[in-house]
Structure 1
Amino acid sequence: MLSVDIEMRRSFKKYQDDGPINIRSAFYGGRTGPLKLFHRAEPGQKISYFDVTSLYPFINVSTIYPIGHPEVHILNKDVNWTKPSDNIYNLGILKLFVIPPSNIDVPVLPMKIGEDQDERLLFPLCSTCAKEHPHGDVKENYSCPHSDYQRGWVSTCTSIELNEALNEGYIVTKLFRVLEF
């Protein structure tokens, strides 16, 4: 029905999904993108670039893995997490509502925008602006007019990613579910 009825699909997109965790929604492809397109080197200044082909083998060797069956927590509660110590789940996958900081150079948490064939992985500072301009845009003197709630989104992420996001100024306002290992 959703594939046929466009209006119904739009209304479901506005719904805040507090249902079960889909573990696959916590997995994203790699991140690519230059942070600076041009730099004029000063005399004697060295410039370089990094080409990281894959961190997957390094992560396999150097980090902890979840083992066994997770404990499922169905919470659906309001929280105000602003720092990693607020997150009591050391190793888990969390489904939550997150608000990004309004000004950060390299955003931490991604979201997917678009339909099946044209789905894009973005790292936005405002989900509403990202949905309004899914292919990007250049605007002189741009200022996001949206509220914190309009800027945020439901994210499924690992506790490790969440802690890094909290270190960078993200705020968690709602905790839906947790798979704790």
Structure 2
Amino acid sequence: MQKEIVSYCISDVNILTLACIKFRQLLIKSGNVCPYTEAYTIASSCNKLFRRNFLKADTIGLIPRQGYRYRDNQSKVAIQWLLWEEKVRKINIVHAAKQQEIVLGGLPVDGYCAETNQIFEMMGCFYHGCVKCFKNDRDKPIRKHLVKINHLRELGYEVVVKWECEFNKDKDSDVRKYVSEHPLAHFTPLNARDSFYGGRTGNIKSYYKVKEGEKINYIDICSLYPWVCKYGKFPIGHPKVLVGEDCLKLDLTQMEGIIKCKVLPPQNLFHPVLPIKLNNKLMFPLCYSCAKGFTQEECHHVIEDRAFVGTWVVDEIVKAWQMIIKL
């Protein structure tokens, strides 16, 4: 008996070895991919084969390491000033809060308006050597920046310069209110990975007694992920970034993408739509404050305490809108 067991095991290993060798040969022949040296799962092997043989160049947009907004270090006060200049001048200024700093004449600039050919430079008092705020050790930094400004003006640009101390002095109640409420000055940039919430399971009812004439059906959904990969939608290329007031006139039913926004769910949904990650848990709340405090009682929170900010695929927001969730 023991001899037969050993013989069976040896035969089993030999068959598996031959199968693995044949599988490797077929995959190399059909897709030029070795499943043992280049990948370790069927999924990764298929992914490698697809990318190597079928994916066209410049189809998938690789998200920049720093994202699409705030890719360059820019002070908070500089963003506030640029936002106020946009409002006062009624123009569109490209700056780091929207995407990345524009490079003109080989030099990065804080803000640029193509329509007016204007460059906007915020001079931080400490880093640029303000003569009013710093009497000593300021010559080198200010000289370097003046050379930059003169170079840009020689190229034909109108350069608008503002010192940090002057802007802080000019801030009246209107300016402070505007910049304090502007979404670009406070909300962190959208991170596409924040829209991934992973799989979830939920036990809606632990026990149900069947009534006369009723039937209980058992549904097992298999291979949902590969089905979505085959028949679902995938984004290609790089996105168009819209922020703040640019989003007000959007028709979400006619677009694809990812959105970060503040939502106010209704209080009467049995199955909430939008998930958030809170207290290291995946939740589908109808009230942010109740979810945060694990409240089990009736909700009496005001609107400001119930609403929450999150990142979701546009399709989820459209569904939420159909369920009367207010954006």
Same fold? TM cut 0.5: yes
Distance (whole Å) between structure 2 residues aligned to residue 65 and residue 77 of structure 1:
24
| Contact preservation (8 Å) 1:126, 1:151 | yes
SS in 2 for 1:164: helix
Identify unmatched segments of 5+ residues in structure 2: 1-182
| Percent of aligned pairs sharing the same letter | 38
SS in 2 for 1:95: strand
SS in 1 for 2:216: coil
The CA RMSD measured in Å over matched residues stands at 2.4
Q: Which residue of 1 aligns with 2:233?
A: 64
Following TM superposition, where does structure 1 have runs of at least 4 consecutive aligned residues deviating by more than 6 angstroms? none
| Contact preservation (8 Å) 2:287, 2:306 | yes
Q: CA deviation at 1:37?
A: 1.7
Q: Which residue of 2 aligns with 1:169?
A: 324
Distance (whole Å) between structure 1 residues aligned to residue 218 and residue 253 of structure 2:
37
- What is the aligned counterpart of 2:293 among 132, 147, 150? 132
Letter in structure 2 aligned against 1:163? V
Aligned ranges 1:1-181 → 2 under 5 Å: 18-75=187-244, 86-87=251-252, 90-114=255-279, 119-133=280-294, 138=296, 142-172=297-327
Q: Which residue of 2 aligns with 1:6?
A: none
Identify, as 1 or 2, the structure richer in strand. 1
Query: 1:32 and 1:166, CA in 2 relative to 1: closer, same or farther beyond 3 A?
Result: same
Query: 1:28 and 1:61, CA in 2 relative to 1: closer, same or farther beyond 3 A?
Result: same
Letter in structure 2 aligned against 1:106? H
Query: 1:76 and 1:51, CA in 2 relative to 1: closer, same or farther beyond 3 A?
Result: farther
Identify, as 1 or 2, the structure richer in helix. 2
Please give the TM-score of this superposition, normalised by the length of structure 2: 0.40
Distance (whole Å) between structure 2 residues aligned to residue 42 and residue 77 of structure 1:
54
SS in 2 for 1:60: helix
| Contact preservation (8 Å) 1:18, 1:76 | no
Query: Which of structures 1 and 2 has the bigger CA Rg?
Result: 2
| Contact preservation (8 Å) 2:275, 2:282 | yes
| Contact preservation (8 Å) 1:101, 1:169 | yes
Distance (whole Å) between structure 1 residues aligned to residue 256 and residue 287 of structure 2:
27
Please give the TM-score of this superposition, normalised by the length of structure 1: 0.70
Deviations 1:86-114 (CA, angstroms, capped at 9, x unpaired): 42661111110011111101111011112
Query: 1:162 and 1:86, CA in 2 relative to 1: closer, same or farther beyond 3 A?
Result: same
Higher normalized contact order (CA 8 Å, seq sep 6+, divided by chain length): 1
